[in-house]
Amino acid sequence: MYDPKWMPKIYQFLCNGCGACIETCPTGALGRQAEKAILAYPEKCIYCAYCETICPQNAIELPYLILHYEEDSR
């Protein structure tokens, strides 16, 4: 089961509908709705970040969790 807070966010107000992300997605997780890209099949997303990288409008963002660990000073 996927958690929506960790799925790619596609900002519709930035998307120009070029389709580069849809063509690049290796699993077919992205689709089109009202001439804009959407995450149509979130369960197919493998978090490869190709969509985020290729988007010329920077309309796609993948959230990441960054953890910091303290070094053991023994």
Q: What are the domain boundaries of the chain?
A: 4-61
- What CATH number has the domain spanning 4-61? 3.30.70.20
Report if pTM > 0.75: yes
pLDDT, position 33: 97
Residues 25, 14: Cα–Cα separation, whole Å? 19
- Per-residue pLDDT of 14-34, as tens digits, reads 999 999 999 999 999 999 999
Residues 65, 18: Cα–Cα separation, whole Å? 29
β partners of residue 37: 32
pLDDT, position 73: 65
Residues 51, 72: Cα–Cα separation, whole Å? 38
Residues 21, 25: Cα–Cα separation, whole Å? 6
- Sequence-ordered alpha helix ranges (H) in 1-74: 20-24, 50-54
